[in-house]
């Protein structure tokens, strides 16, 4: 497709969830809209999400389930366009879906249905022409001339009254993710909150890695905390360290150098259980009691040092306390994370202090908007980040 002969009312950089949603909303409102992206296909992160079925929102969406330097910033957009609003859109396109655990909503079919829905919203516009989509388009320079934004690309120069940056964060670079949106923000004088990988597995140092490597693939329910909320979901041992939903959730709150705290038996006080078992069945092995609450292989690892004195009757209260702490209060020091390579999101981004929470507009640059992951708003695992994409996109479109 050749570049336009005239400028657009709205120019959107990024054909991910936020960019496509904003384009559809703008086109539906009658604005001449174009979306530019260097990728070959739109909505690639949507396509791979949720195991290919797209966890497109969460019924439990609320501002407290998002991280930001300003915890209140997301309130306005999330209230103005809620999870229920997006569900209504999904239903209007006759997309079947189901709820899994913790309010997570998935397509019954393919994640492609959500992409097709967004493209349909861009295309079928009763009050104007369809939004135009320019894929495989490399952006060379973004500037401003006579109150118009000018974006120079390998397909020519695009101009617009309004520029929306929906370029995402740094997570999953193999899919083309870069920090380009932060560069644009800084170019126009906006500040950037420090970025780091979020919703990402932890890695161990060589000693811990060797100790727990035999358990790679083992999953168990646990409560994981890293200087933030406690998350109770599955924990997974990997060849590199720890993963699983509970770990990914905690990782967004983790800072380098801090330990994480894990309760491997969240429904039991192991110390009291061991004391009681010693009274009623003193000849039983300690590992037998532990295996009722944690995987057998872990129980064996913890009790191997007991050697020949492994019966309950042979253990002191001090030993019971030590074992219980290793289960209920396991403190582990990750050496790091797997980084942006496997991170589902980027924590940090364009400072909310420089954006209007109602419109997502840059306070000091008329006509400039930032939406989605590029902004310093990061949701929990489970559809929250997609909901932020939808909500922030609608907030911007309603302000055009």
Three-state secondary structure of the chain: CCCCCCCEEEEEECCCHHHHHHHHHHHHCCCCEEEECCCCCCCHHHHHHHHHCCEEEECCCCHHHEECCCCCCCHHHHHHCCHHHHHHHHHHCCCCEEECHHHEEEECCCCHHHHHHHHHHHHCCCCCCCCEEECCCCEEEEEEECCEEEEEECCEEEEEEEEEECCCCCCCHHHCCCCHHHHHHHHCCCCEEEEEEECCCEECCHHHHHHHHHHCCCEEEEEEECCCCCEEEEEEECCCEEECHHHHHHHCCCCCCCCEEEECCCCCCHHHHHHHHHHHCCCCEHHHHHCCCCCHHHHHHHHHHHCCCCEHHHCCHHHHHHHHHHHHCEEECCCEECHHHCCCEEEEEECHHHECCCCCEECCCCCEEECHHHECCEECCCCHHHHHHHHHHHHHHCCC
pLDDT above 50: residue 306: yes
**pLDDT given for residue 4 in this prediction:** 46
Q: Which fold has domain 8-194+346-397?
A: FAD/NAD(P)-binding domain (3.50.50)
Residue range 116-125: mean pLDDT, rounded: 96
pLDDT above 60: residue 307: no
Residue range 20-32: mean pLDDT, rounded: 97
- List beta partners, residue 55: 106
Cβ atoms 201, 240 nearer than 8 A: yes
pLDDT above 90: residue 60: yes
**Contacts of 190 by beta carbon, 8 Å cutoff, 6+ apart:** 350, 351, 354, 355, 362, 364, 365, 370
pLDDT averaged over every residue in the chain: 95
pLDDT above 80: residue 351: yes
Handedness of CA 306, 307, 312, 313 (dihedral sign): negative
**pLDDT given for residue 305 in this prediction:** 79
**pLDDT given for residue 176 in this prediction:** 86
Which pLDDT tens digit goes with each residue over 126-156?
877 899 999 999 999 999 988 899 999 999 9
Which pLDDT tens digit goes with each residue over 162-196?
999 999 999 998 888 899 999 999 999 999 999 99
pLDDT above 80: residue 355: yes
**pLDDT given for residue 302 in this prediction:** 86
Which pLDDT tens digit goes with each residue over 196-230?
999 999 999 999 999 999 999 999 999 999 989 99
Residue range 345-363: mean pLDDT, rounded: 98
pLDDT above 80: residue 396: yes
**pLDDT given for residue 308 in this prediction:** 59
**pLDDT given for residue 2 in this prediction:** 44
Identify the band that residue 310 occupies on the pLDDT scale cut at 50, 70 and 90.
confident
Residue range 302-316: mean pLDDT, rounded: 82
**pLDDT given for residue 187 in this prediction:** 97
Prediction pTM value: 0.94
Residue range 268-289: mean pLDDT, rounded: 95
Residue range 25-45: mean pLDDT, rounded: 96
**pLDDT given for residue 174 in this prediction:** 87
Minimum mean pLDDT among 102-106, 171-175, 337-341: which range? 171-175
Closest to 200 in 3D by CA, of 100, 346, 332:
346
Say which residue, 73 or 178, is predicted with more confidence.
73
């Amino acid at each position: 497709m050749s570049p336009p002969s005239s400028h657009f009312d709205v120019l959107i950089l990024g054909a991910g969830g936020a960019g496509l949603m904003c384009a559809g909303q703008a086109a539906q409102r009658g604005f001449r809209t174009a979306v530019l992206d260097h990728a070959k296909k739109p909505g690639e992160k949507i396509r791979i999400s949720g195991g290919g079925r797209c966890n497109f929102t969460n019924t439990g969406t609320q501002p407290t389930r998002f991280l930001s330097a300003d915890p209140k910033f997301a309130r306005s957009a999330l209230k103005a366009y809620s999870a229920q609003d997006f569900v209504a859109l999904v239903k209007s396109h006759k997309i079947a879906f189901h709820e899994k655990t913790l309010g997570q909503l998935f397509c019954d079919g393919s994640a492609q249905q959500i992409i097709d829905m967004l493209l349909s919203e861009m295309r079928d516009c009763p009050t104007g022409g369809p939004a135009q989509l320019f894929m495989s388009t490399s952006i060379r320079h973004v500037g401003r001339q006579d109150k118009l934004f000018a974006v120079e690309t390998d397909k020519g120069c695009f101009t617009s009254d309004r520029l929306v940056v929906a370029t995402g964060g740094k997570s999953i670079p193999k899919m083309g993710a870069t920090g380009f949106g932060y560069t644009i923000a800084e170019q126009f004088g906006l500040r950037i909150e420090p970025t780091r990988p979020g919703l990402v597995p932890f890695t161990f140092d060589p000693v811990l890695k060797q100790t727990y490597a035999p358990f790679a693939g083992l999953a168990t329910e646990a409560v994981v905390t890293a200087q933030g909320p406690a998350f109770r979901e599955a924990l997974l041992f990997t060849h590199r360290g720890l993963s699983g939903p509970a770990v990914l959730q905690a990782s967004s709150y983790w800072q380098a150098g801090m330990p994480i705290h894990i309760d491997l038996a969240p429904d039991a006080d192991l110390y009291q259980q061991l004391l009681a078992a010693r009274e009623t069945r003193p000849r039983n092995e300690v590992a037998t009691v532990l295996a009722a609450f944690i995987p057998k292989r872990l129980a064996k690892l913890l009790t191997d040092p007991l050697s020949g004195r492994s019966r309950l009757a042979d253990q002191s209260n001090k030993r019971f306390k030590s074992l219980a702490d290793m289960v209920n209060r396991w403190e582990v020091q990750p050496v790091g994370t797997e980084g942006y390579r496997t991170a589902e999101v980027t924590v940090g981004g364009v400072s909310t202090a420089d954006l209007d929470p109602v419109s997502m507009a840059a306070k000091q640059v008329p006509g400039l908007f930032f939406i989605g992951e590029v902004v310093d708003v990061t949701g929990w695992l489970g559809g929250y980040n997609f909901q932020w994409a939808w909500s922030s996109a609608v907030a911007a479109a309603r302000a055009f």
